Structure 1
Amino acid sequence: MKAKIQFISAMLIFGSLGLFVRPISVSSAALSLMRGILASVFLIAFVFFSRQTFSFAAVRKNLHLLLFSSAAMAFNWIFLFQAYKYTTIANATLSYYCAPIIVVLLAPVILKDTFSWQKLLCVVVAMFGMLFIVKSSPSQSSSYDHIKGIFFGLCAAGLYASVILTNKFFKDLSGLEATLMQLIFAVAVLLPYVLIFEPFSPAAIPSSSVPYILILGLFHTGFAYLLYFTGVKHLPASSIASLSYLDPISAVLFSAVLLSEPLNFFQILGGIFIIGSAFFSQKKPKSLNSADTE
């Protein structure tokens, strides 16, 4: 029960991410950099004070994979934050949640997985869901440019899918070790990018944004990742797959209830199509004697 509470808490924290990104008045790249720095410091402190074992040999063995996935993670954050700026949190979240569908499309090529009729149907249904969301959102409004925001969300989804697929090739690397190194390397990627393309001074950060940046880096990233990896170790795969959908569902509900963002019938239908497709694409036929755990 404790592990399930930890995992659910992590999903709800991830789901509230957009609420805390919205009030921050800095560029998406600078925000991603600060998020990475704060989360890295949090997890390094946790590893040090809790005396967690950390295998640098495993890090060296997976270095090329870590570098690639870290760069993808860094720009994934930038595109996701851009999506939050240009469209509603619901639209950004649902377009971002096309990542599992992209994984389904690429897995037969990269992971040599089988591509069944069930997965093909899920891909088609997800595409219809995305079409519903795009068509139900006016291309521009007084405060949004939905098409641009959804495009950024899909770019973030593609990058996140590449992180998921790359992580499948890690060997002898724990989830905590992989995530901490990805955060550190993401900072190494983002720092020169921000310095070259988006000159940024911490002194220029509006004081009203500082609390939200701290919460985003320490709570939504460092602490939430810790909850996630602590809980996931003790849960069966079926529970992890099912509970993961609390993230996008809670994000949509939070934005509608707390921010009063518009949410029409076709957006809801599109969201059901996308989330449902992602869920069923991960379902595997089970025999009567099969166990829940992998």
Structure 2
Amino acid sequence: MSNYFISRWIDIIITAIAPIIWGSTYIVTTQYLPPDRPFTSALIRVLPAGILLLLLTRNIPKKVDWFRLLVLGALNIGFFQAFLFIAAYRLPGGLAAVLGAIQPLVVMLITWVVDGKSPIQTALWSATAGVIGMAILLLSPQTTFEPIGIIAALMGAICMACGVWLSSHWKLDLPLLPLTGWQLLIGGLILIPMAFMVDTPLTILKPSELVAYTYLSLAGALLAYVLWFRGIKKLPTVAVASLGLLSPITAVVLGWIFLSEKISGSALFGLIIVLTSVFIVQKTSTKLN
């Protein structure tokens, strides 16, 4: 087994920690956070983490990088989080996750159209199988299809796909920590007006709510996005996008463990399909530079 192969799988495993952490967001939000404050929760999640990273690193971007940072912060954090929560409030979680699962396919399409690189057939079919597996796992005959929610979920997937591709394509001349910090700060600033205009103001927080917000900020934003952007620097874009499917999978597994939510036979089959899809895409990506 070559050193390159081992190194690549180490990078995959480290990057996978990010969507696994994000998968815990659902159970933390529903069980411990004040209800009906989606944009406030997103704001508290990303803005303090961004400020903390920038205070620790004190790295000012070059003038040439500012426009690209603004675009990446909007796509990866601000707009993505906004669309994510709009979809979450208007759609069943399963449908939102299925629509979000198209992200690897969008990355392949962008790479094909812009870079002229046709997708590897194995990765293409595996990513398609991931969407199908997610549908088997999470959809039911009672699923409600709401147009605005569907548009928001699709736009969120497109924003993140574009952000992943641009992050890999532009390769900004910034160390990892300030690169992450500036994007979190920019995304947080975008979320401020949404939080104040849409959400009910926060009252005095309970200790459990303070702990939950701290976890979402330090683990769900600071740590997870540092690992995510590290992965974007080191892995093919399709491989990184595919790992995002681990987020809803983690949410399902945590719901089964801690909330006694059932996983039926067909859902278990869908879960296996999704995990197999992610593995095959990662295995295919080890052949890419």
Q: How far does residue 26 in structure 1 lie from its aligned partner after superposition?
A: 3.9
1:96 corresponds in structure 2 to: 100
CA root-mean-square deviation: 4.0
2:65 corresponds in structure 1 to: 62
SS at match of 1:201: coil
Q: State the distance in 2 between where 1:212 and 1:41 align.
A: 19
2:86–2:152 CA contact under 8 A, matched in 1? yes
Q: How far does residue 275 in structure 1 lie from its aligned partner after superposition?
A: 4.4
Q: How far does residue 118 in structure 1 lie from its aligned partner after superposition?
A: 2.8
Match of 1:76 among 62, 80, 83: 80
Q: How far does residue 182 in structure 1 lie from its aligned partner after superposition?
A: 0.9
Q: How far does residue 16 in structure 1 lie from its aligned partner after superposition?
A: 1.7
Letter in 2 for 1:35: R
**Structure 2: tracts of 5 or more residues without a match:** 1-5
Q: How far does residue 148 in structure 1 lie from its aligned partner after superposition?
A: 8.2
Q: State the distance in 2 between where 1:82 and 1:268 align.
A: 28
1:87–1:149 CA contact under 8 A, matched in 2? yes
**Structure 1: tracts of 5 or more residues without a match:** 49-53
Q: How far does residue 183 in structure 1 lie from its aligned partner after superposition?
A: 0.8
Q: How far does residue 66 in structure 1 lie from its aligned partner after superposition?
A: 1.9
1:177 corresponds in structure 2 to: 178
1:121 aligns with 2:125: yes
1:93–1:252 CA contact under 8 A, matched in 2? no
C-alpha distance 261-78 of structure 1, shift in aligned 2 (>3 A): farther
Q: State the distance in 2 between where 1:199 and 1:131 align.
A: 31
Alignment of 1:194-205 (within 5 A): 194-195=195-196, 197-198=197-198, 200-202=200-202, 204=203
Letter in 2 for 1:164: V
Q: State the distance in 1 between where 2:46 and 2:285 align.
A: 39
1:220 corresponds in structure 2 to: 220
Question: Please, what TM-score do these two structures have when normalized by structure 2?
Answer: 0.72
1:51 corresponds in structure 2 to: none
Q: How far does residue 184 in structure 1 lie from its aligned partner after superposition?
A: 1.1
Match of 2:28 among 17, 20, 24: 20
Q: State the distance in 1 between where 2:233 and 2:83 align.
A: 32
Q: How far does residue 253 in structure 1 lie from its aligned partner after superposition?
A: 1.3
Q: How far does residue 39 in structure 1 lie from its aligned partner after superposition?
A: 1.1
Q: State the distance in 2 between where 1:171 and 1:235 align.
A: 13
SS at match of 2:39: helix
SS at match of 2:41: helix
Q: State the distance in 1 between where 2:21 and 2:131 align.
A: 27
Q: How far does residue 40 in structure 1 lie from its aligned partner after superposition?
A: 1.3
1:134–1:150 CA contact under 8 A, matched in 2? no
Q: State the distance in 2 between where 1:275 and 1:94 align.
A: 14
Q: State the distance in 1 between where 2:51 and 2:234 align.
A: 27
Structure with more helix by fraction: 2
Q: How far does residue 110 in structure 1 lie from its aligned partner after superposition?
A: 2.7
C-alpha distance 233-138 of structure 1, shift in aligned 2 (>3 A): closer
1:37 aligns with 2:40: no
1:46 corresponds in structure 2 to: 56
Query: Which string of whole-angstrom CA distances, capped at 9 and with x for unpartnered residues, describes residues 39-73 of structure 1?
Result: 1133124325xxxxx3521xx32222222222222
2:245–2:274 CA contact under 8 A, matched in 1? no
Q: State the distance in 2 between where 1:234 and 1:158 align.
A: 20
Q: How far does residue 163 in structure 1 lie from its aligned partner after superposition?
A: 1.2
SS at match of 1:115: coil
1:132 aligns with 2:140: no
Query: Which string of whole-angstrom CA distances, capped at 9 and with x for unpartnered residues, describes residues 181-229 of structure 1?
Result: 111111221123333x326534x36536333222211232123444666
SS at match of 1:218: helix
Q: Which moved more, 1:161-170 or 1:14-23?
A: 14-23
1:189 corresponds in structure 2 to: 190
* Count of equivalent residues: 272
1:109 aligns with 2:113: yes
Letter in 1 for 2:37: S
Identity of aligned residues (%): 23
